[in-house]
């Protein structure tokens, strides 16, 4: 599923909020009035397009209720929303900001994940972008390795047109087993950038006993948090992008 849609635009008539304004966006998403406007029918899980408004601020967002999650054989039932929020917390703690502001809250169909809508630039060729050496895409590859993303498709890339790239659909991340499955393998085995090493260093201690660990343990199992820390430690030790797994499909299907 891709969050992108060519005929969607930020909802509401109030003042909008930028995904870069994480504090304002989180407050809007957590406390705003949520109104369902439609459903993204290509999604495998219930994914609702909504308008959200709070104190004159308004935006479009995606709401994925836990009740609409389809069971998966390799992830515990009813945990995808928490994994989406955990991915946002890691992205923010790393200083990469590759995941739009995301919260866990109650909604019209029960508790679930609510994420700020990011409208991608329709002039950006996503296939070419995914195969490029773009620095923003490389940041995404580093982030995916940390969260063990099992489903990084091309359509999950959201370039708003300002040089930054966001990603969506992180419900199948944080497995204890190595399940990295992505279309972004162009840096496999290559040396990490200084920026990537700094980002990994920001969360290394935090994943041991800091605030990030506390937030993640409220969303994931302790084993999953420990596995995330080990992935960070391994990347800091070897200073290279990981190689594809040998016993797991390396590219998601379909890749879009």
Model confidence pLDDT, tens digit, residues 111-132: 999 999 999 999 999 999 999 9
Structural contact between residues 17 and 30, judged by C-beta atoms closer than 8 angstroms? no
- pLDDT score at 15: 67
- pLDDT score at 132: 98
For 158, which DSSP code?
Answer: E
Q: Where are the domains of the chain?
A: 22-238
- pLDDT score at 16: 85
Give the span between the Cα atoms of 247 and 245, in whole angstroms: 6
Q: Is the pLDDT of residue 139 over 90?
A: yes
- pLDDT score at 12: 43
Q: Which two tokens stand for residue 249?
A: 């499909």
Q: Is the pLDDT of residue 192 over 50?
A: yes
pTM listed for this prediction: 0.94
- pLDDT score at 33: 97
For 120, which DSSP code?
Answer: P
Give the span between the Cα atoms of 233 and 139, in whole angstroms: 17
Q: Of the candidates 251, 69, 233, 73, which has an alpha carbon nearest to the alpha carbon of residue 149?
A: 251
Q: Which CATH number fits domain 22-238: 1.10.357, 1.10.3470, 1.10.10, 1.10.510?
A: 1.10.510
**Mean pLDDT across the stretch 228-240?**
98
Q: Of the candidates 106, 66, 83, 254, which has an alpha carbon nearest to the alpha carbon of residue 171?
A: 83
């Amino acid at each position: 599923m891709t969050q992108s849609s060519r005929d969607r635009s930020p909802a509401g008539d109030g003042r909008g909020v930028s995904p870069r304004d994480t504090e304002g966006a989180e407050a809007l998403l957590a406390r705003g009035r949520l109104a369902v406007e439609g459903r993204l029918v290509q999604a495998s899980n219930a994914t609702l397009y909504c308008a959200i408004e709070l104190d004159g601020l308004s935006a479009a967002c995606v709401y994925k209720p836990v009740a609409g999650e389809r069971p998966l054989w390799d992830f515990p039932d009813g945990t995808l929303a928490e994994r989406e929020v955990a991915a946002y917390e890691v992205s923010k703690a790393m200083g990469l900001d590759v995941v739009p502001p995301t919260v866990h809250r109650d909604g019209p169909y029960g508790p679930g994940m609510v994420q700020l809508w990011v409208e991608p630039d329709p002039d950006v060729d996503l296939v070419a972008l995914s195969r490029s050496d773009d620095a923003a895409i490389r940041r995404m590859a580093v982030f995916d390795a940390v969260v063990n993303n099992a489903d990084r498709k091309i359509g999950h890339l959201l370039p708003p047109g300002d040089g930054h790239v966001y990603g969506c659909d992180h419900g199948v991340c944080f497995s204890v087993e190595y399940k990295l499955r992505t279309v972004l393998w162009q840096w496999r085995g290559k040396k990490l950038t200084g920026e990537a090493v700094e980002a990994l260093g920001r969360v290394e201690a935090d994943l041991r006993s800091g605030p990030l660990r506390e937030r993640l343990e409220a969303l994931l199992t302790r084993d999953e948090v420990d596995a995330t820390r080990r992935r960070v430690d391994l990347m800091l030790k070897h200073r290279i992008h990981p190689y594809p797994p040998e016993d797991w499909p390396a590219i998601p299907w379909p890749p879009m």
